[in-house]
């Protein structure tokens, strides 16, 4: 017998929801980093302020990328789960035994 895998669609749905929430949190974090970048530049001034602001801006960009990827993965998991459920329902419908017809 060949090895197989088992996928629990409800658990995949939970994972998708968690990834979606993570994406939202990371997006919020990116906004916070951008705001901090402005404050750091103003508070520190000169080269130190510029470097600290640039670093905060880079972190914001990284958070945006990770947020986009997490959101894309969540969307992919939801789409795959829906498609699998539809295909499974179609397959189950094709296996149904039709009720006998009685002569009138």
Domain that holds residue 19: 14-92
In a domain, 47, yes or no: yes
The whole-model pTM stands at 0.76
In a domain, 3, yes or no: no
pLDDT in tens, 4-58: 888 899 999 999 999 999 999 999 999 999 999 999 999 999 999 999 999 999 9
Under a CB-based contact definition with an 8 Å cutoff, are residues 71 and 23 in contact? yes
Under a CB-based contact definition with an 8 Å cutoff, are residues 19 and 79 in contact? no
Q: How many domains does the chain have?
A: 1
pLDDT reading at 99 higher than 70: no
């Amino acid at each position: 017998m060949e090895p197989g895998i088992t996928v629990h669609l409800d658990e995949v749905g939970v994972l998708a929801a968690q990834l979606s929430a993570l994406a939202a949190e990371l997006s919020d974090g990116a906004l916070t980093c951008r705001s901090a970048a402005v404050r750091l530049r103003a508070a520190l001034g000169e080269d130190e302020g510029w470097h600290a602001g640039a670093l905060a801006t880079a972190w914001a960009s990284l958070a945006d990328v990770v947020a986009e990827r997490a959101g894309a993965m969540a969307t992919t998991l939801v789409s795959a789960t829906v498609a699998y459920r539809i295909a499974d329902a179609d397959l189950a419908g094709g296996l149904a035994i039709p009720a006998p017809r009685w002569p009138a």
